[in-house]
Structure 1
Amino acid sequence: MNKIITVMAVLMLTACANNPPEQHPDPDAVLDKLWVYSDTGALQCEPDSGMSIDESADILNSHGVEVSDSKTGQKSQMAVIAMCGGPTLDIYLHQVASDNLEDAKSLGFDPITDLESEDGAGYTLQ
């Protein structure tokens, strides 16, 4: 029985040692774009309130900040009172060129990294 356990342990360790090296993304591809976010403006108990993700992206696009990707999300390390008419934690995330960060900020969008804390990313994707 001990021989079987020893053989299994050796085989498992050998299999782990043969993993291919982790592939890292191209640094230029990572550095030229970033994610910004804004609140959706939606209100609790009012499903059609707030703006759509397309309307949010149009704010950026119409001011020369090209949006290359968009996602919906929710702030995760924050709380709001549960009350009809109160705000939600819903956000829209848009990927833009890093050169356009200041323009995006002037339009009310913040870098998604502003939500990060020691406890995690500060948001979840939906």
Structure 2
Amino acid sequence: MTPIALIEAAATALWVYAVLTFAHWVVLSARLDRRQHIPALAELLGHLVPAMILLVLTVLAGALIGLPSVVALIALLFPAGLAFGTHMALSEADPPPPVGHTHARLALTLLLAAAIIYRRQIT
């Protein structure tokens, strides 16, 4: 397996986890009172901003230093930042989801990511 294939597989798993955590966050936010929707969104953005700042700093450092592999870092940092931000927003929700939901989300992530990677290899 080539390094590019490993990066692509890791990025796929991170994207799947980010989508699943965001979907769970949307479900939890929909259950809140209507007046709590904007604060919930502001909290989610507060968790996403530091990850995106790290992404921008990585791009700037790669441009200044001239790293050719900065694209590989971006391919991993962007979905990782989204996954981290949505996961943290979920973990700080009131009430936080049970640990079983997190384990189920991780299992579903592995299953879906494996199916997507397998499908890409076939076509």
Q: Tell me which interval the TM-score lies in, with the shorter structure as reference length.
A: under 0.3
Q: More relative contact order in 1 or in 2 (CA 8 Å, sep 6+)?
A: 2
Whose strand fraction is larger, Structure 1's or Structure 2's?
A: 1
Question: TM-score w.r.t. structure 1 length?
Answer: 0.27
Relative to its length, the structure with more helix (as a share) is: 2
TM-score by length of 2: 0.28
**Bigger radius of gyration, 1 or 2?**
1
